Structure 1
Amino acid sequence: NGGTRVMRNLAQQIYGSQLTEYSKKQTQKQKNGYSSRLGWVFVSKDFTKETTKAVRTYGSLFNVSKDYTYFTPNTFYRNDLRRLSTLRWVNAMSIDIDAKNGENEGMTLPDVQESITQAGLPMPSLIVQTPSKGFHVHWFLEQPKRASDKLNAHYSRIQTCMAEMIHGDVHAVGPERLFRLPTDENTVFHSQNRVSFDTLCEWFQLVQEQNQVVVHTYKKGFCKGYENLLKHPAVLKILEGVNKGQRDMACYTLALAYKAAGYDEKQAEQYLHNWNQKNTPQMRQIEVKRKVKSAYNGRFHAPSAKKIRELSGMLFSYVIWEEAKPREERTYSHIEEWEGDVLAFIRAQGGQVSGSQRDISDQITSSVDAEKKIPYATFKKVIARLEEQEILLKKVSGKGRGASTELTIIDEVKARRTQSEASKKENDHTSKINGFNSNTIKDTVVGGTALPLSTGSSLVLPQETLSPVVVPTYSTLSKPAPIPGNVPSAFVSALYNRSFLDGRFIFRAWGKIQLAFKAFGITYRSIAATDDYLRLAVDAVVVTVEKKGSMIAGDFQGDECFLKYLFGTMKGLFANYRSDQIRTFVEEIEGLGDIILSHVGMKLEEELKDARVVDRELVETKLAEIEREQSARQRRKHYHNHSAFELHSSLNQFKLFMKRDD
């Protein structure tokens, strides 16, 4: 059986000594006791409790693998309850990339691999393709981690971040979840690579630092780029010389540092011979030569941050800065560049093209290599993205092979902007953050590449402009700046489609939105990551345009007037939004039973403990409303009991009175 064969290869790699080969007899258990290292693996046919089974031996796991569909990479100390609270060992970090309901349509294994590379993540251990054409991606840990409340919470935070970075399901998180059992048929990638949990923690920390939208003020120990490696205090500490037991690793690490900094092999060897004189005792010269040769001929391009920390005893972390390869040298082109080519082709046909999708895709070639055609899967993905951005309208008539598709550009402003950005990416070879140990460009801000910031936090505006330029909105400047990439695209579109084309004006407008949200305790990242908040920001633009005019209508009343009104409007809209949230919440809890109401209160208290809570004031208000509701119910119960007691007493007095009369 394919599932059994693959499971035999993978089970030992995942579980190690957490499972036994065969069941222990009762006499063995009585003699040796129950092992606190063993764990239960859950398997299931369809996620329901009735079809879920727990196994604790490799024999049982292999036997059931042909009849079951899902398994837990992590193990539990109970065989009757698969819950976070019963987790014993964390063995793997696993991500579900869903392809249902139009999400990630047309995604292929190379797409998954590129997204992992772009995110700066290490190579996974296993990738399984699901029947819906999604993927389950697993990173097996070098050493299993004992589950705890603290570790489980951090695991979920890292897992959520990883899912966001590689287009995974951010709702399918938690170390207790089930994933599809690997078989010969569905295993599309398998390696012996393993990753330490500390490495994933470091990656998560670096991503958090990169996602700051202000000028980066990195934590102590951060090294920005290869060129600064040899100047960093941690590396300088190693260059002062090391003791016996550290020399080999220090020499190899420093050789990689010289390699990354641009020194050739001979230069590095000469510097390290000089460094060796500071060691106690010195290494043999032949050993120095071997370490340098190994570093320069090996697959590593830069030293390990972990090794630098261990050797120096100091804080150290860094991200790699490299140029992206020119498009013609890449085996997989960025989808944004294909978007520009697709739009150029449709525009050349008069803004509309029809025929079978495969025939249309066969006619589209790369703008930098006429011999290179767009892959059909990429073409479908591009069309879906352009539809989602409301740049392109797709109409399909007929079914099957006889179907005909009509593609029409419906928003020329957005289309030209998309094409301009794609063209800019092809021609721009400046260095950008690549993430952790990555060789592919990664955008570090919401919506694209941010406007670069100089040391003094003043805005440095690129010289390029978008084409065509219609009417500049910024009254004091004759030439509009490019659209800022660190502003969410929905907000940019709301202004851009009303002929607010200047990047500086859009940047200032978004600043007013941020200030309005800040008045309610909402952070920038929460605005960009919350659909309702972005919708409110767009609504604020619409209301402000109605009152203060726009360039396209010719009734624009000026920058300051517009921005001031936008700020006030945003505050008013959000205040109303929050009031509606509270009113709806109050109506909902009034219909809840006492036990469920108490449970909701506990969930809100847990939410407040999370540093990432989006609207802390709203959660606190909801908690206060629950306390009011609980107090009101207590008063009603007390009043009801008191009234019933008084009524009972009155009846007794009346009976006594009647008896006396008799």
Structure 2
Amino acid sequence: MDVLGTQNISEAAIVAILHHGLAISRFKHSRLPASEQRGDRPTGAVFLTRSKEALQEAVGFVSTSQEAILDNDSCSHWTPNIFRFGTYKNPNRHVISGHSEDNLKQINTFVVDADFGDHKPSYSVDLYHKFIVTLDDSQTEIWPTILLETPHGYQAYYVLDRPVFVRRHNDQFPAITAAKMVSEAIRTAVAEQLPQVDPGANHFGFFRKPNEQNVCFFEPSLTHDFGGLLAWAKRLQASAGEKDRVHFRVKQADQPWFTALTRAQVSRGDGMLGRNNTLLTLCLAGYSSGWTERDAYDYADQWNSGQREPLSDREVQRIVHSAFSGKYQGANAHYIAELTAAYAPDAAKPIGNQVWRKHAKVREDRQYSHLREWAEDLVKYVNTKTGREADYLQITTRELRSQLGISSQMLMRVLHYVADLSLLKVVRKLGRNGGLSLATLRMAGRTVQRNKRTSGDAWRFFLDGLGISREGTSEKIDQLSLWPGNHAWSGP
């Protein structure tokens, strides 16, 4: 089963993420037609859980086929990146084991999680644009392939065009190290526009599984080249060298803000940063101040015990381990400022052994002049390629990119633009014969009038069949229309 052969958008998203890294059908008791059970049977495993509560206790199951994943639509979380194998810790086969970095087989996607707490905004094109990352050349952008809605926020999937395969080299995993650098760069860039991004989430752990209710956006052509992403992440790392850092002699753990956050009561998250990010920041301060990981756990356990809404011990251990993983040098000034403003507003600004990095200004929503020009070209192309009686233009995104000489990222932006301004009606159809249906307002108007005439004829035929006079019915006939009164212009 490929992306075009799937029946709904969530299945298409899952297939696009997996990159054929698992067998198509179950090894036994497959319900797929024999013609779809062909092909190789690659080895690998994906872990799934049915709820967040089950995930916290590592209760779930292992899937080794794409069919099994698609059949378990009720699962809330999964590992979109594929592991070499999966197993269970208990005889009842409930507690899963094997979802660790040293067991990764292939990396399919990077995921950014934004948690807004109780103030989650509704999905909009503007919100989606905040997950777009502009590279350092200011011309290339990284667009999320998929955007999912979660109970308290959104998760953006940046799917690779080809998976990265993990191999051990001298007891090291170079691919994982490189992938973490890319993932960290993407999260940092998105966090400049959305401070609700969770920087401490496991890069290759569990995320929300796509389903028909939570997919807000999906465009299978928006995939990304890992080599280009890695080159960009390396340039970012180089630009954040010693010239962009200022070191102080006082340890972070000795600063007033550290003491204030230690004493603060922190909620789960009120739309900004919450318990997880606060504890990670505190542990990073301890790490930069020379603590051992054991010291940090003792501190974190005591801090957590004093909270009115404590985290689970498993989550505390995960946060401490993340702080001492070597991915960070210390607590970040951006998060210190956000956390102290939210939970310890009287705390002094950080003055200690802080590693300061220059941050770009928050990227404003930009309306490039050439965006309007592309929109004009698109409308003109639709008018040129359709006859006077045509209802719409049916075309694939690949053909449209070729005809206009436009990149896939810019095309998606232009389609959003023309749909928002009602310049065109844009409808996307998935499936083997899918593509784009584009209609101008004039085409839509002709459709309305034609449907009115058809409805009117049907109404007259109905009245004739009942033997009812047509007098006085003209107003009713004019009111009939198959077109919605509030024109719902759908984006791609």
Q: Could you say which TM-score interval applies, normalised by the shorter chain?
A: 0.3 to 0.5
- TM-score normalised to structure 1 length: 0.32
More helix by share: 1
Higher RCO structure (Cα 8 Å, ≥6 apart): 2
Specify the structure having the higher radius of gyration (Cα). 1
Task: Please report the TM-score for the alignment, with normalisation by the length of structure 2.
Answer: 0.42
